[in-house]
Amino acid sequence: MSFDAENALERSLMKAANDPAFAPQFYTDFAQADVFIIQHGKQHSEKAESTIMEAGETIQIQNIEYNGRPHIPVFSSLTRLRATLDNEVAYLGMNALELLNLTKGSPLFLNPGSDYGKEITAKEASSILDGSIWQPTERFVAQKKTEIMIGQPANYPTELVAALTRFFKRKKQVERAWLAHFLNPERDKTAHTLVAIETSGGYDEIAAEVGIVASNVYMPDPPLDLTPITGRSGGIEDYFLKNAEPFYERRFMGLF
């Protein structure tokens, strides 16, 4: 079936499905959107009505099975809901955050049966609801003088670098970014991926969104740590500034 985006959520869903660099925008638009659910055991009404749920009131929500587990089907518009079903059903529209609060602990599936959809796991739903999905991913900060191992990865994370490059191009405050293979023997058993980011401001916001992008692509050596490049000499910054080439560097219009 054709899928013509009707709202901001559907536009970002389509973009994120084709490019993980747009995943952060999808989560933002989802949290702000009104979505629709199927009410189980209630008769369909031809007349659209607005109502207020009283404290303590409960509703029955239709479930579907996905990968052997029950999921709550959620729709980004009435068009998606109606296109999926063969007959008219009772439905309820509400803000996505209100739905997540109502269905805590339950996985959702956005637009089942459509060309563009997404499973929203219980963990994702919880992180959207409490806002932790927009918190910076783990940042490496040395608490004391520590000998670490750092270098370029044998298995280069091509998919991650490509997605981050596309993401950074849309963020004017990102100046440069580097990548390394990193091991802190006091903390880690195996080496993993470290990305260093130089920004003109808003590092924490960028770091949070980088974590979202990274969670949607394959990475040969997870997890991902991030570190800011502040311009202070010494330590881990010296490796990136003196011994490594950035995989991303902001270009100004008209220059090459």
User: Which residue range is the domain that position 26 belongs to?
Assistant: 8-133
Let me know whether 120 and 192 are in one domain. no
Per-residue pLDDT, 234: 76
Per-residue pLDDT, 154: 93
Tokens linked to 85:
């079903």
What is the SS3 assignment for the chain? CCCCCCCHHHHHHHHHHHCHHHHHHHHHHHHHCEEEEEECCCCCCCCCCCCCCCCCCCCCECCEEECCEEEEEEECCHHHHHHHCCCCCCEEEEEHHHHHHHCCCCCEEECCCCCCCEEECHHHHHHHHHCHHHCCCCECCCCCCCCCEEECCCCCCHHHHHHHHHHHHCCCCEEEEEEEEEECCCCCCCCEEEEEEEECCCHHHHHHHHHHHHCCCCCCCCCEEEEECCCCCCHHHHHHHHHCCCCEECCCCCCC
What is the rounded CA–CA span in Å between residue 135 and residue 193? 19
pTM of the entire predicted model = 0.83
Let me know whether 126 and 79 are in one domain. yes
Per-residue pLDDT, 215: 93
Let me know whether 125 and 33 are in one domain. yes
Q: How many domains does the chain fold into?
A: 2
Residue 162 pLDDT > 60: yes
Span 33-72, pLDDT tens digits: 999 999 865 554 444 444 444 444 557 788 899 888 999 9
Which residue, 39, 208, 49, 213, is CA-closest to 134? Answer: 208
Per-residue pLDDT, 22: 97
Span 191-224, pLDDT tens digits: 999 999 999 999 999 999 999 999 999 999 999 9
Residue 253 pLDDT > 70: no
Let me know whether 21 and 111 are in one domain. yes
Least confident of 37-41, 79-83, 172-176, 238-242: 37-41
The confidence band for 97, taking pLDDT boundaries of 50, 70 and 90, is: very high
Residue 49 sits in a domain of what CATH number? 3.40.1350.90
Per-residue pLDDT, 47: 46
Per-residue pLDDT, 87: 75
What is the rounded CA–CA span in Å between residue 111 and residue 125? 15
Residue 216 sits in a domain of what CATH number? 3.30.300
Let me know whether 122 and 239 are in one domain. no
User: Over pLDDT 70: what percentage of the chain?
Assistant: 86
Which amino acid does the sequence have at 144?
K
Tokens linked to 224:
């991902």
The confidence band for 79, taking pLDDT boundaries of 50, 70 and 90, is: very high
- Are 116 and 99 in contact by the 8 Å Cβ rule? The answer is no
Cis before residue 223, ω within 30 degrees of 0?
A: yes
Span 164-183, pLDDT tens digits: 999 999 999 999 999 999 99
Is residue 83, in this structure, part of any structural domain at all? yes
Is residue 48, in this structure, part of any structural domain at all? yes
The confidence band for 137, taking pLDDT boundaries of 50, 70 and 90, is: low
Per-residue pLDDT, 1: 56
Per-residue pLDDT, 41: 57
Average pLDDT over all residues of the chain: 87
Is residue 37, in this structure, part of any structural domain at all? yes
Longest dimension (CA), the chain: 69
User: Over pLDDT 90: what percentage of the chain?
Assistant: 70
